[in-house]
Amino acid sequence: MTVWRAFKRDRLALLGAIIVAIVVVVAILAPWLAPAPDDATIAVHPVDGLLAPGSGHWFGTDQVGRDILTRVLFGARTSLRIAIEVLVIAALVGMPLGILAGYAGGIVGDVIMRITDVFLAFPALLLSLALAAVLTPSVSNAAIAISVTWWPWYTRLIRAQAATVAASGYVTAARALGVSHVRILIRHVVPNAAAPVIVQASLDFGGVILTAAALSYLGLGAQDPTPEWGLMVNQGQTLFQTHWWVVTFPGLAILVTALGFNLIGDGLRTIIDPRQVLHDRGS
Amino acid sequence: MRQRGAFVATIAIAGAIVAGACGEVKQATSPPPATSGGGTTATTPAAPTDATFTYESLNTIVTSFDPATAYSNEVIALNNIYEQLTRYDSTTKTVKPLLATRWTPSADGKTWTFTLRPGATFHTGKPVDAASVKASLERTIKLGGGAAYEWGAVDTIDTPDPATVVFHLKYPAPLDLISSSAYAAYIYDTTAAGAGDLAKWFETAKDAGSGPYTVASWSKGQENELRLEAYPAYWGGWDGAHYKHVLFKYVQQPTTREQLLESGEATFADRLSPELFTQAKSSATLQSSERSSFQNLIAFLNTASGPLKDPNIRRAVALAIDYPGIIAALKGSAVPASGFIPDGLLGYADGLAYTQDVAQAKSLVAASAQKNITLTMTHANGDADQDLVSTIMKSDLAQIGITLNVKPLEWQTQWDQAKSTNPKKRQDIFVMYWYPDYADPFSWFTNLFHSASPPYFNMSYLNDKAVDTTIDALQSQTATDKAAAETSYAGLQKTLLDAAVAIPLYVQTYQRAFAKTVSGYVDNPAYSNVVFIHELTPTG
């Protein structure tokens, strides 16, 4: 309840929450909200290509006559799906490794962290690009390619948290009382590590959506006719000077969604993990 | 887009056949060069004396400098550096003089005598004489690369005097037309390298042509890739206003190409998107040219393996496609195809277009034993027009219950996969452009539909002896009896379309945008994307 009150006081975070809520609702209700749901899948209407925004098509049509509003609305599904897939994979891989490295320490911790460092040594987007180029371009493979670059951040984050908890007095006491490692991990380490993971994941949502859009823009992510905002920007890039709406609306969708997630992430960080804010501001 | 690679001469030699009497005598005596670049050479007082023509190309320019084997985009530069014996004028549909001022075939069409232009010299300073014509063409034929197959009819070449070249043919062939080819018909100084290796000499960005321009510098992989300078002793002269410098610039992004044109940093763009072209047309500083080309986009259906081995499924695919929709989506950059031969070439016929009939296509699929058909289609990566066509075809085939997986690939990957010795690795549908090496439809049929093992450009993998026999007679028929050739081409196209071996999707319209300061430009689709720069006049 305290968190919610603090959250409500942060107007920017509230704005972010509203944006994210709208995006989520749009993603869920897209088939009912979209004026031409078939245009999100396989339908084309070439003779209606590049119609300007108007009463028939609020966001205009693309080169093969598909309703852009429909594809922008369905694009929310694609972007959220990729973001959720990436963050779930990153958390499922990164958290156990981080906990193990932090709690066990020693050689096990060193080996895990050196492997993590190897992945972190590559620029994230470059590694994603390389992987996506090797895999067949698709939404799922884009999610896999991004996940490979994303999990090490979670490992590093959790490791620090787990090491701190492992060295704390109450954990030492619990060990002395004969509590098992598994129970210590479940009861003490994981709950303590959850907060920074939530903050990080909320911050990462926007980043993943942007990275996925970048991959699709470069032809390495979603493929036509999948409605994906980055792909839509790619398909309309030569039209920007002559038919602005083809690029502008999916571009705005990316901008607004990424902004919403970043605002909500910043707000959560301030509330849940104020030390990091102080650290950031002081640095 | 079709990228031309080393060509196997045997493919086309197999298509060239026997005898008959020569029915038509072509002769030209007028001295001026072909006016494919417009031929307007009027001098204007404001004309600059040191103008540069900057050509923006969608593709990189040079893959080879060897005029014998070059078979790719460098043709846009080489046709300004080298010259052929003749040049085809697509406007008048006639062969015009170039390095030869006249030519005469014998009555049986097997001996052709060319008289050379006096005063022409190579950039090495050596005169263009009969011996150099013989030497350069013999080298081209011997190397057998690129489009050298065109010369398959040539038996021997005689040089009775320095101004006369006599070709003795094994069978009648339209040698005046072949001599005008955009590829492998260049005359060059074979002694340019002295005792050295001529092929290696060429690959150091040197040239030995007789054309108006010579290579000044080449920066491989750079945006400003190739610079040419005027050859002062060019036989066509430099009186009046001419572009003295030429820059070939590789600019991939259409928006950048348009912006460079608008800003005056470029003179000519070979291709913009249809939308940018529309914008350029209304620009105060630009002018434009639109012309139906000899370049068509073809979808080749795999007749040898996979679901499309069944002719009824192939017919269903052909009937499912929304052809007017494709033309509409391309916004003026394409016109409907009628058969495989574009309008303007021998053998073109109306009424050879497929018409969409979804109901019939569905019934063909339903009658088939195959269920849940999935097809793989490959096309050139980065070609926006082909992306659009793929999107439309995917939607059209979904309507008849066929799933189309589209794979945009780099040309070499697409081609290698199609030529794989393992049929399972090959695609079901292969999409590529085709345009002729010289202004004649023969190359479509000998390259694309004649049986070939291993496959080269025969991406339908057709192996039909009757079709082969008809194709083998075409070149001879063209030289001796054009009416018979027309009939053969019409029958052949009908056979191929009835069997749905391949689908002609559309004929491209060449949309050029260029500076208002350029005077005299006329597109010549027989020389795809070539601008004959010496024939233009800078006016501002």
> What ipTM describes this predicted complex?
0.78
Lowest average pLDDT, out of A160-169, B302-311, B529-538, goes to A160-169
* 3-state SS string for A195-258: HHHHHHHHHHHHHHHHHHHHHHHCCCCCCCCCCCHHHHHHHCHHHCCCCCHHHHHHHHHHHHHH
B394 contacts in A (CB within 8 Å)? 42, 224-225
Give the distance, in angstroms, between the CA of residue A137 and the centroid of all CA atoms in the same chain.
19
Are B379 and B526 in the same domain? no
Task: Compute the distance between CA of residue B444 and CA of residue B450 in angstroms, rounded to an integer.
Answer: 9
- Both B479 and B393 in a single domain? yes
The residues near B220 (Cβ < 8 Å, ≥ 6 apart) are B62
Two tokens, residue A103: 């709690």
pLDDT > 80? residue B382: no
Q: Taking a C-beta distance cutoff of 8 angstroms, is the pair B20, B172 a contact?
A: yes
Cβ pair A84, A75 in contact under 8 A:
no
Sign of the torsion formed by the C-alpha atoms of B342, B347, B350 and B352: negative
B3 domain residue, yes or no: no
User: Which residue, B463, B477, B424, B508, is CA-closest to B173?
Assistant: B477
Residue B509 to residue B519: CA distance in whole angstroms? 21
User: B432 is written with which tokens?
Assistant: 């590529």
Q: How many domains does chain B have?
A: 2
Candidates B385, B443, B475, B414; CA nearest to B182 is: B443
Average pLDDT over chain A reads: 88
Confidence category of residue A282, pLDDT binned at 50, 70, 90: very low
What pLDDT, on the 0 to 100 scale, is given for residue A273? 63
Do B25 and B141 lie in a common domain?
yes
Q: Please indicate if any CB of chain B lies within 8 Å of the CB of A239.
A: yes
CATH of the domain at B278: 3.40.190.10
**Residue of B58, B388, B393 best to disrupt the A interface, most CBs of A under 10 A:** B388
> Phi and psi (nearest 5°) for B416?
-60, -40
d(CA A36, CA A33) in angstroms, rounded, equals 9
The answer to whether position B2 is within a domain reads no
One domain, residues B300 and B224:
no
Tell me if B276 and A50 make a contact (CB, 8 A cut-off): no
CA of residue A171 relative to chain centroid, distance: 33
- Chain A from 50 to 69: CB within 8 A of any B CB: 50, 63-65
Which CATH number characterizes residue B347's domain? 3.10.105.10
Flag whether B273 is in a domain: yes
pLDDT of residue A278: 43
Whole-angstrom Cα distance, residue B512 to residue B535? 17
Query: Shortest Cα distance from B214 to chain A (angstroms)?
Result: 35
- Evaluate whether residue B12 is within a structural domain: no
Query: Range of A65's domain?
Result: 2-282
Give contacts of A243 with chain B, Cβ < 8 Å: 275
pLDDT the model gives residue B517: 95
- B493/B534 same-domain check: no
pLDDT of residue A271: 78
> Residue B501: left if φ>0, alpha if ψ -120 to 50, beta else—which one?
alpha
What's the CA angle centered on A171, arms A168 and A172, to 5 degrees? 85
**CB proximity list for A146: less than 8 A, separation 6 or greater:** A82, A86, A128, A208, A211, A212, A215
A124/B416 Cα distance (integer angstroms): 32
pLDDT at residue number A1? 53
Please, which residues have CB within 8 angstroms of residue A269's CB and are 6 or more apart in sequence?
A199, A202, A203, A276, A277
Same structural domain, B344 and B198: no
CATH number at residue A133: 1.10.3720.10
Optimal mutation site among A61, A136, A239, interface B, most CBs of chain B within 10 A: A239
pLDDT band at B486 (very low <50, low <70, confident <90, very high): very high
pLDDT at A240 over 70: yes
> Is B37 in the same domain as B98?
yes
Are A137 and B405 within 8 A, CB to CB?
Answer: no
**Which residues, listed in sequence order, are joined to residue A61 by a DSSP beta bridge?**
A67
3-state secondary structure B112-126: EEEEECCCCECCCCC
Mean pLDDT on B213-235: 96
Q: What percent of chain B has pLDDT over 90?
A: 77
Q: Is A96 on the interface with B (CB under 8 A)?
A: no
- The answer to whether residue B388 neighbours chain A at the CB level (below 8 Å) is yes
Instruction: Give me the half-sphere count of Cα atoms (radius 13 Å) on the Cβ side of residue A127.
Output: 17
A219 touches chain B (CB under 8 A): yes
CB contact under 8 A, A223 and B273: no
Q: Residue B110: CB partners within 8 Å, gap ≥ 6?
A: B19, B22, B168, B169, B170, B171, B172
Radius of gyration from C-alpha coordinates of chain B: 23
Same domain, B102 and B117: yes
Pairs across A and B, CB distance < 8 A: 65
B328–A223 CB contact, under 8 Å: no
> How far is residue B104's CA from residue B98's CA, in Å, rounded to a whole number?
15
Q: Shortest CA distance to B78 belongs to which of B87, B89, B70, B86?
A: B70
How far is CA B383 from each of CA A247, B1, B55, B254, B408, rounded to the nearest angstrom?
18, 8, 20, 11, 9
Task: Find the CB nearest B273 among A42, A49, A238.
Answer: A238
Strand order in the sheet with B164-169: B100-105, B111-116, B164-169, B154-161
> Using a CB-CB distance cutoff of 8 angstroms, which residues of chain B are in contact with residue A225?
391, 394-395
Residue A59: pLDDT band (50, 70, 90) is very high
Q: Are A44 and B331 in contact (CB < 8 Å)?
A: no
Measured between CB atoms, which of B326, B329, B391 is closest to A224? B391
Question: What's the rounded Cα separation, in Å, for the pair B38 and B164?
Answer: 29
Nearest Cα to B84, choosing from B53, B113, B116, B56? B116
- Please report whether residue B7 resides in a domain: no
Strand partners of residue B512: B289
pLDDT digits (tens, 9 = 90+) for B312-362: 999 999 999 999 999 999 999 999 999 999 999 999 999 999 999 999 999
Q: Which pLDDT band holds residue A276 (cuts at 50, 70, 90)?
A: low
3-state secondary structure of B291: strand
Structure tokens at A131: 């992987």
Per the model's pLDDT, the better-predicted residue between B494 and B30 turns out to be B494
Q: Tens digits of per-residue pLDDT, B68-91?
A: 999 888 999 999 999 999 999 999
Helix (H) / strand (E) element for B244: namely strand B243-250
As a whole number of angstroms, the distance between CA B465 and CA B471 comes to: 10
- Domain with B60 in it: 20-285+516-538
Minimal Cα distance from A38: which residue of B?
B395
Residue B404 DSSP SS3: strand
Contact: B406, A241; criterion CB under 8 Å? no
Residues B420 and B359 reside in one and the same domain:
yes
Residues B458 and B330 in one domain: yes
Average pLDDT, chain B: 89
DSSP B365-378: HHHSS--S-EEEEE
pLDDT per position as a tens digit, A40-49: 998 999 999 9
Nearest CA to B101 out of B113, B88, B117 is that of B117
Q: Output the CA angle B104-B107-B109, nearest 5 degrees.
A: 70
pLDDT tens digits, one per residue of B98-130: 999 999 999 888 999 999 999 999 999 999 999
Residue B276 near chain A (CB below 8 Å): yes
In a domain, B5, yes or no: no
Distance of alpha carbon B447 from alpha carbon B458, whole angstroms:
6
CB atoms within 10 A of CB A218: 16
Q: What is the Cα Rg of chain A in Å?
A: 22
The model's pTM: 0.81
What is the per-residue pLDDT across A84-123, written as a single tens digit (0 to 9) for each? 999 999 999 999 999 999 888 889 999 999 999 999 898 8
Residue A180: predicted pLDDT:
87
Residue type at position A215: L
Number of domains in chain A: 1
Pairing, β B374-380 against β B403-409: parallel
- Kindly give the interhelix angle for A245-272 and A2-9, rounded to the nearest 10 degrees: 130
| Residues with Cβ within 8 Å of residue A110, at least 6 apart in sequence | none
B200 shares its domain with B310 = no
- Measured from the Cβ of residue B260, the count of other Cβ atoms closer than 10 Å reads 18
Residues in chain B with CB shorter than 8 Å from the CB of A47 are 324-325, 328
In-domain check, residue B11? no
Six token digits for residue B295:
């370049």
Partners of residue B279 in chain A, C-beta under 8 Å: 241-242
Tens digits of residue pLDDT in A147-198:
999 999 999 989 988 888 888 888 888 888 888 888 888 888 888 878 788 8
Co-location of B301 and B179 in the same domain:
no
